[in-house]
Amino acid sequence: MYAICHTSFMPRNNRTQIDSRSSAEQSAFSAMENPWQAWMGVSFIEDVMNTEWRDVVGYEGIYKISNRGELRKILINGILGKESGTVGTQGYKVTKLYAYGKKTMRSIHSMVAEAFIGPYPKDKEINHIDGNKQNNSVENLEYITKTENMNHAIKMGLRWVPKGSACKQSILTESDVAEIRRIAKERGFRCGQKQLANQFGVSERTIQSIIYREHWKHVA
């Protein structure tokens, strides 16, 4: 564990006097007692104290990854040397690992997940819960299926799904769909579906799904 600590040189009798002071006075006195902590900021100290380091899976004793997504290389003297990374083409932070005479490109989020969540399931993908690919804290990662990952991306607005005629495979247009529904309403929903299918060059099942709004829901 890596922690930052400090030693106070205040006599005990002075500490007893502080206990009777107001909270504001104690805070001010604490800053005078430990100016280093006051300068660095309490949040910084808490971040360091809450950081946990574990071996990178497959690179034990060579690299360590933190629960906050920081990568370090274990140097000869045991000190952790900071490793830099870059943002890959898909927006994920990646870096090169060197070991056993080989160079391997790895993503930061995959190393965090394997070290802190567990082995990588074959049928799962790693999802960034808040949608931010740069936030590789373990609390922001989870294993989910590919379908769940896609649905999450759509929900977060990270993935655009083409609708209607925007799909390359679409035969119909929005105006075609509107016309099919108009004709079906005039004739009765169960009448003339085969004729409509032949007219618009699609299957009867497609006509049925349009009439009952199973698909093309964005068309009025």
For the full predicted model, state whether its pTM sits above 0.95.
no
Tens digits of residue pLDDT in 139-171: 999 999 999 998 888 888 877 666 677 777 788
Q: Which band of pLDDT confidence, cut at 50, 70 and 90, is reported for residue 96?
A: very high
Q: Contact, 95 vs 108, CB < 8 A?
A: yes
Q: What is the CATH number of domain 80-155?
A: 3.90.75.20
- Give residue limits of the domains in the chain: 12-49, 80-155, 164-211
Q: What's the CA gap between 175 and 98, in Å, rounded?
A: 58
By CB atoms closer than 10 A (0-12, 13-18, 19+), residue 86 is exposed
Q: What's the CA gap between 49 and 68, in Å, rounded?
A: 12
